[in-house]
Amino acid sequence: MRICVVGAGYVGLTTATALADFGHEVQCVDIDQAKIESLRQGKVPFYEQGLQELMNINHQNGRLHFSIQVEENIRDSPIVLIAVDTPPKEDGSSNLSNIHSVVETIASNIKGYKLIITKSTVPPGTNALLYQMLLDKGVEEDLFDIVSNPEFLREGTALWDIKHPNKIVFGTRSERPIKILKKLYQKGKASYIFTSLTGAELIKYASNTFLATKISFANEMARICDAFEVNYIDVAKGLGTDPRINRHFLNAGLGFGGSCLPKDLCALKDAAMRQNVETKLLDAVMAINDTQIDIYLKKLRTVLPNLEGKQITVWGLTFKPHTDDLRTSPAIALIKQLIRKGCYVHTYDPMVQQELANVSNFNDQYESVKNSDALIIATEWEQFHECDWSEVKSRMKASIILDARNCIDEKIVRNEGFIYLGVGKP
């Protein structure tokens, strides 16, 4: 099938590449000229495991094309998949201007039947409004179907996720598009979930806010474990062995970040508030997340009471490992707090650097700890687990490690003579 994917970002490019790999002919369009130029030269502008290779294969075999000709490609494709970003506004609600502009372009370029698929995360009720918007612009009802098809792609494993989905959600207004929709993805063992437009939108928000809830629950439990001098890891293991609960998303630490969980939580709270629904649980989930950094700075002060003038090294900048994405990264928020407290900050990340005032970035993890009073591990990259701790100790001024992701072996570092502070650990 011929498909136009609008938006070549993390979600759009991954989806476009997978669809081409499934055998479709895909035109991936974006208004960002530099991005399209880079893609045409065979270069993915961000890191996503396996994407570069798969994109090259499908670009070279002629199934995946890149263009800035948004209008023409929308006009010529019977299927248009929208994957533009829906960033948060100051008040937490979603900025839908990108999606509106794409739908306007579609409205003025419908000649024959078009299947419009919304992949971008949009607040409940949006697809129904987009449907009405198309009618108001004079597009005949028979000429299009609109479908809400949310993504559940984790950065770092996005290609694996799209190739091995556990569910494929389609929100539709009628049964008309179902036959085509079933040809879109490789279903594998996944189940199809057909629901209304708004039902699909809410499945997406419910999924991400539930994951956020598990993390904040884990973080609150870790705080309680700290108070009772109990190892939270044991509690998480005990919880996780119950299949009704499971161990996923129970890692306590600096809290959740990234471009989705915090944004989706705020957007769902905002959407509920507009319908006069109180969201006490979601409010608590956010409040816990918002105070995680304070909790760890308080921990650090138990061994380093005055942070002013201290040199602190932070390992890990991205919002989680296996990505170069810094959007809403707890590590960056932590660094900004350290700077506000008068610290000098050194950073090291295996994949990225971030220019910040009063921060020195290093390419070498051992160089980065030179003369530091403390080392904070903010993202659980594997190489931190495997590092040479005697080398680290010999370069630091004081021997303090705050493992804010519980990712290194505390016995090894304690044997090396470090003061080790972990998450929910006596």
Binding residues for ligand UDX, rule: CB under 6 A, are 6-12, 30-32, 35, 83-86, 98, 101-102, 120-121, 152-155, 208, 211, 215, 249-251, 253, 255-261, 319-320
Quote the least distance from Cβ 122 to ligand UDX, whole Å. Answer: 7
- What tokens appear for 339 in the block? 């700077």
End-to-end CA distance of the chain: 58
How far apart, in Å, are the Cα atoms of 38 and each of 30, 41, 273, 330?
12, 5, 42, 29
- Please work out, in degrees rounded to the nearest 5, the angle formed at the alpha carbon of residue 366 by the alpha carbons of 296 and 419: 40
User: 173 vs 247, which CB is nearer to ligand UDX?
Assistant: 247
Q: Which of 4, 28, 225, 260 is labelled catalytic?
A: 260
Residues with Cβ within 8 Å of residue 394, at least 6 apart in sequence: none
Rg (CA), the chain: 24
Quote the least distance from Cβ 208 to ligand UDX, whole Å. Answer: 5
- What tokens appear for 299 in the block? 């921990």
CA pair distance 231, 228, nearest whole angstrom:
9
Quote the least distance from Cβ 178 to ligand UDX, whole Å. Answer: 23
Instruction: Please give the order of strands across the beta sheet that includes 79-82.
Output: 64-67, 25-29, 2-6, 79-82, 114-118, 144-148, 167-171, 191-195
Query: DSSP for 148-192?
Result: E----PPTTSHHHHHHS-SEEEEE-SSSTTHHHHTTTS--TTPEE
Clarify whether 407 is annotated catalytic: no
User: 269 vs 310, which CB is nearer to ligand UDX?
Assistant: 269
User: 126 vs 172, which CB is nearer to ligand UDX?
Assistant: 126
Quote the least distance from Cβ 203 to ligand UDX, whole Å. Answer: 11
User: 69 vs 415, which CB is nearer to ligand UDX?
Assistant: 69
CA pair distance 173, 145, nearest whole angstrom:
8
> By Cβ distance, which residue is nearest to ligand UDX?
9
Quote the least distance from Cβ 154 to ligand UDX, whole Å. Answer: 4
User: 8 vs 396, which CB is nearer to ligand UDX?
Assistant: 8
Quote the least distance from Cβ 413 to ligand UDX, whole Å. Answer: 21
CA pair distance 19, 7, nearest whole angstrom:
14
User: 171 vs 258, which CB is nearer to ligand UDX?
Assistant: 258
Give the active site residues.
Answer: 260
